[in-house]
Amino acid sequence: MSEQLHLAVLLSWKSLAEVESAAKVCVDCALCQSRKQVAFARGNPQAKLMIIGDSPGRNDDESGIPFDGRAGKLLDKILGAANIDAQKDIYICNVVKCRPPNNRPPEKAERLACRKYLKAQLELVKPALILLAGATAVEAILEVKHPISRIRGIWFDGEFGAKVMPVFHPSYLLRNDSKEVGSPKWLMWKDIQEVRKQLDLVTLV
């Protein structure tokens, strides 16, 4: 889809409900052939904090809810430990809304086909803070391919004046279970504490 057509589509959507309705019947890439359900978003559309992951997993595909499996439960647990409510304080979505076969990373064509939905979510939610969970989300939003280990915990300038931070994807934390100083889980906890501080600041505005 051209940038001009992308813009026309975005301007035609006045609410997240309209965007979700369009996403649920989307056939713009091959992922529509294997999906069970579109996993559009969960959480609070008025939240100051948005979390963007890469793509739905098996549980998400079955329930139609992003981050609905083990990785999502771990994410909610980490956020809850920092007093961040996954239902009230966050809006959660993915770069692509349909599950790629065998949970492979979404291909460029698939990311581009879904770009209009993610752009509409950013436009309508207008979060103050954005966490990018995993390399696909970093590439989609920051347009860089740096390893998460090099740029996690760093705030970047994003769209609509938002502050954007790359973080480890919770599925990566499941594979790296150590909580020792310097481990991915330890670093993630430090990052979420920083997010909590920034969330306190933006909610005062």
Q: Which domain holds residue 19?
A: 3-204
Average pLDDT over residues 88-112: 95
- At 48-58, the pLDDT tens digits run 999 999 999 99
The span from the CA of 10 to the CA of 100, in Å, is 24
Structure tokens at 33: 């052939």
| CA nearest neighbour of 66 among 1, 116, 137 | 137
| CA nearest neighbour of 131 among 188, 88, 180, 87 | 188
Structural domain count, the chain: 1
CATH number at residue 71: 3.40.470.10
Whole-Å CA distances, 177 to 2, 43, 143, 194: 43, 26, 29, 21
In this predicted structure, the answer to whether residue 197 has a pLDDT above a threshold of 80 is: yes
CA 34 to the chain's CA centroid: 21
In this predicted structure, the answer to whether residue 2 has a pLDDT above a threshold of 90 is: no
Whole-Å CA distances, 185 to 72, 76, 174, 175, 178: 15, 14, 9, 10, 7
pTM, rounded to two decimals = 0.92
In this predicted structure, the answer to whether residue 1 has a pLDDT above a threshold of 90 is: no
